[in-house]
Amino acid sequence: MSVNFTQKHKHEMITFENVTKLYGKAKALNGINLDIQPGEFISIVGMSGAGKSTLMKLIIGEEQLDHGKVLIDGIDMSTVKSKDLPYLRRKIGIVFQDIKLLPKRTAFENVAFAMEVSGHRKDKIDKDVPKILELVGLLHKKNNFPHEMSGGEKQRVAIARSLAHRPVLLLADEPTGNLDEVNAAEVLELLLKINELGTTVILATHASDLVNKINKRVITIEAGQITLEQATKGKYKL
């Protein structure tokens, strides 16, 4: 892991400098300035179409910006060649609203598969997967298939999978969108726990009521612009 959270860090984890992203003539993002520190938990809230996913896509280099600059760990994304993007993405875990687990594989195998893909050996996989499943509270479901799990459990397996390559940054784009209140709160608790263990977390969501309760930094975007910044307030209680 190239970033050590226990020491003072040279760069912000993420910097957006006056970023504009166009789709045709429409501005999906319009002059975004944003600094995210290593170890931060930040929620990005906004209505459908506000630009939340676009912001995430610029961070992983899935889209190119039109004006401004995005720096990830001090690296200017415009200088990263597309063949090098997979290396950068290995530092990032991604979780989406629609959970795409491998349907014919168990919870254990879904996480193991992600580790295989990132080149880990079997002995390491056999050692690490139970630890990751334990972290998300699902070790007892390790032999269950996705159709034998609830929506919230499936999302927790998806989060476990996103942690398999030990990312320094976790992007969660509306991970609670398809979940009921109880499961959504559990997924949010899990993201907070992962953040406490040192991973920077960026959560995009419509659920402003939920994230307002956790007293972490919240930014609101409307029509591609940041319209509200709320700083961390201290202890949370869901």
Ligand X SMILES: Nc1ncnc2c1ncn2[C@@H]1O[C@H](COP(=O)(O)OP(=O)(O)OP(=O)(O)O)[C@@H](O)[C@H]1O
Q: Quick one: 54 or 195, whose CB is closer to ligand X?
A: 54
Place of tokens 């598969």: 113
Sheet holding 217-222, edge to edge: 92-96, 169-173, 200-205, 41-45, 217-222, 225-230
Closest CB to Mg ion among residues 166, 206: 206
Which span sits near Mg ion by CB under 5 A: 36-44, 46-54, 192-200, 216-224? 46-54
Q: How many residues bind Mg ion (CB under 5 A)?
A: 2
User: If contact means CB under 5 to 8 A according to the sort of partner, which of Mg ion, ligand X, none does residue 6 touch?
Assistant: none
Using rule CB under 5 A, residue 183 touches Mg ion: no
**DSSP count for the chain of H helices, then E strands:** 7, 10
**How far is residue 204's CA from residue 72's CA, in Å, rounded to a whole number?**
18
Site for ligand X in 66-105 (CB under 6 A): none
Q: Look up residue 198 and give its DSSP letter.
A: T
Cα 56 from Cα 92, distance rounded (Å):
11
Q: Which does 23 bind (CB under 5 to 8 A by kind): Mg ion, ligand X, none?
A: ligand X
Spatial CA neighbour of 235 closest among 216, 208, 209: 216
Which of 23, 78, 100, 102 contacts ligand X by CB under 6 A? 23
- Residue 30 or 110 having the CB closest to Mg ion: 30
Tell me the closest approach of the beta carbon of residue 50 to Mg ion, in angstroms.
8
Picked from Mg ion, ligand X, none, the partner binding residue 28 (CB below 5 to 8 A depending on kind) is ligand X
Contact by Cβ (8 Å): 211, 45: yes
> Residues 40, 219, 232, 211: is their CA dihedral positive or negative?
negative
**In the complex, what is the shortest distance from the CB of residue 32 to ligand X, in angstroms, rounded to a whole number?**
11
Q: Contact at 8 Å (CB) between 162 and 111?
A: no
Angle between helical axes of 151-162 and 181-196 (0-180°, round to 10):
20
Q: In whole angstroms, what is the distance from residue 116 CA to residue 122 CA?
A: 8
Number of residues that bind ligand X (CB under 6 A): 11
53 binds Mg ion (CB under 5 A): yes
Residue 49 binds: one of ligand X, Mg ion, none (C-beta under 5 to 8 A by kind):
ligand X
Residue placing its CB nearer to ligand X in the complex, 111 or 207 = 207
CB of 26 to ligand X, least distance (A): 6
Please, what is the Cα angle at 76 between 89 and 33, to 5 degrees? 100
Instruction: Report the site for ligand X in 28-67 (rule: CB under 6 A).
Output: 28, 46, 48-54
Residues near ligand X (CB under 6 A): 23, 28, 46, 48-54, 206
Residues near Mg ion (CB under 5 A): 52-53
